[in-house]
Chains A and B, each alone.
Chain A
């Protein structure tokens, strides 16, 4: 007995689409922006260029904010000072991704992780990727360390860190 019926719809062939059989109007835009990074982000990016990870401390709640912010969102006040933190941390969560942004299949899976940085307040850190590790070996709370690009290739971007790799102990 047939329990489900497939509704046929109105299929459009590739040829109909390409030959513009149906009415539509194309408009392609070029939207271009250059965002002022501001004091906190600029300081962080400059630090990356030097191979250092910087945070900002709020002297009221004493949290070390990484990535740094010019203001503490809990206390609503300007943060007080720059703090250098370590380039090690532990994995808060991770995912092994097999697809690209356009849904195409990756040749090699990408391991994306949220990393809590040592020296920052609990829960503080940033998103990055993992390398030099088999996906099956990654686990929550795994200790990791930054692998930096060579100094002359660093431009002041989050990608100045190539990836994080398991910290050998």
Chain B
């Protein structure tokens, strides 16, 4: 079976507001960049197009009807995956792996600035009989955060250090609108939303579009000098009931990474990667995810943060892009946004200190109140 590579990436938006363009125009801009990057013409060289989005975030049902034109996919094979962008990437990977086609485009975007009732959309996803009367997105998060911090005996300063680190990492990334120099004290004195969750822990909403072009090994070698290989993929769902979860660990991240490690033959994840992009929502999620990925343990995760092991210049940089904390929350696009960042870094177009990096992991979480997510292992 053929190997599968990412041969082109493109992006557009990545800002709190994008009033100058419609979601279609944003997708056109991002995909044009990706096709130029890959050296392809979408009208003749692409076998299949995949978009990842959720109708309630779009405000249009059956959104897939509205996506082909701006991707170059008019009157071609187009489908929508109603999930995080990484799931779309994995679908594209499978389409190539199975021999169905040899070039696939995967797109995902957010126009969160256009959703005036974001809280209501999230509320729609809560279990309606037992849980919806009591929850908001923030309480769902805070309940898990409290238990995780209790189990690991973490003080408030640890998630705050993660937030400060990722805000700072973003300053080196021209695509990260929410990057900043933020002290731990500033995080800890930001308004309390619901204990122990503070405003500064919460990723800010952003608009943006990410596009990747995937190709079979044969095509990739003809088209580009620097293909980035997808070596393993995994996806996993834990229970939908907030009240039934093991808050001490990210079961979905554990499950999806095990699947990806098996495929890629990764036996010692703690030593395998040059950098990692994980979902870093609320600071503590980064830690919970790193544990679930087997990169750190519940015994050494706290120390890793305290001594700066995951800093940009530490032995294992985590979220060199600035993560969701700096890039913003782009809902279903979050996973694909981070793939674009990882690909650029693996090609030497990311932080200078990571030039020469060969192995990367990208993990995504579908956001509150879900307990599902995916993992992709990339290599140059």
Contacts and interface: CB of A to CB of B under 8 A. Distances in A.
A36 B59 CA distance: 12
B72 A76 contact: yes
A32 interface: yes
Interface stretch (B89-97, B120-128, B225-233, B279-287): B120-128
A31 B128 CA distance: 17
Interface stretch (A4-12, A22-30, A88-96, A115-123): A22-30
A30 B117 contact: yes
B129 interface: yes
Given A38-B25, A71-B69, A32 B129 contact: no
Given A29-B124, A71-B70, A76-B42, A36 B117 contact: no
A44 B262 CA distance: 54
Interface string A33-45: 1111111110000
Interface stretch (B14-22, B239-247, B299-307): B14-22
Nearest to A75: B43
Contact of A33 (B24, B70, B115): B115
A39 B21 contact: yes
A163 to B, nearest CB: 26
Nearest to A72: B69
A36 B41 contact: no
B8 to A, nearest CB: 14
Contact of A36 (B42, B74, B114): B114
Contacts of B24: 38, 69-71
A73 interface: yes
A74 interface: yes
A31 to B, nearest CB: 6
A34 B43 contact: no
Contacts of A36: 18-23, 111, 113-114
Interface residues of B, number: 34
Interface residues of A, number: 23
B23 A73 contact: no
B25 A39 contact: yes
A84 B113 CA distance: 32
**Most chain B CB atoms below 10 A, which of A27, A35, A71, A76:** A76
A35 B111 CA distance: 8
Contact of A35 (B41, B114, B121, B128): B114
B69 A29 contact: no
Nearest to A41: B22
**Most chain B CB atoms below 10 A, which of A30, A35, A75:** A35
B1 interface: no
Given A71-B70, A76-B72, A33 B128 contact: no
A75 B24 CA distance: 16
B68 interface: yes
Contact of B56 (A27, A31, A34, A76): A31
Interface in B44-79: 56, 59, 68-70, 72, 74
Contacts of A71: 24-25, 28, 69-70
B116 interface: yes
Given A73-B74, A76-B43, A35 B116 contact: no
20 contacts: A27-B128, A29-B124, A32-B115, A32-B116, A32-B117, A33-B117, A34-B114, A36-B22, A36-B114, A39-B21, A41-B22, A70-B22, A70-B28, A71-B69, A73-B72, A73-B74, A74-B74, A75-B43, A76-B41, A76-B43
